[in-house]
Amino acid sequence: MMSDRIGRLEFLFWCGVPIIVGSIVFTIVALSVGAVDANTPSGDPKFRSFLAPVAVLVSIVALRAAVARLHDLGLAGWAVVLAFVPLVGIILFLVLFILPGQKVCNAYGEPPIFLGRWRKSKQIPLPFS
């Protein structure tokens, strides 16, 4: 689960891991049902029917990460719409990777800690503390 603000490293994590996991899942499923083999062209409808849901899920996660990263920069999440403009989207994602976030609280919350929400949920209280 992602917080309202994420830093550059967590943005890289939330953009990279879904692509890698999605590629592995797509490959395993497509090979197991015979949708892909050495002779299958990429325009095959069976190939596309397995690729589309994976691409949609990866895109949702990446766009959510972009919104959280924009919040870290103090910008509105609606600026993610710029990612759909050709060339501007590439520049936007490069900016999100390069610019450091705000070090103080902004309208979207506290400054981020890498995977902070996940770390908090995994803390186990000691019985005698």
The mean of the pLDDT values for the chain is 81
Identify the burial level of 116 via C-beta atoms within 10 angstroms of its C-beta, where 0-12 means exposed, 13-18 middle and 19 or more buried: middle
* Spatial separation of the C-alpha atoms in residues 107 and 77, rounded to whole Å: 12
Considering the entire predicted model, what is its pTM? Answer: 0.75
* Spatial separation of the C-alpha atoms in residues 54 and 72, rounded to whole Å: 27
How do residues 73-86 score in pLDDT, each as one tens digit? 989 989 999 989 99
* Spatial separation of the C-alpha atoms in residues 68 and 57, rounded to whole Å: 17
Q: How many CB atoms lie within 10 A of CB 32?
A: 9
34's CB contacts (< 8 A; 6+ apart) are none
Parse the chain into domains and list their residue ranges. 8-121
How do residues 22-60 score in pLDDT, each as one tens digit? 889 888 877 777 766 666 666 567 767 777 888 898 999
Q: What is the DSSP letter of 6?
A: -
E strand or H helix at 31, and its extent?
Answer: helix 8-32
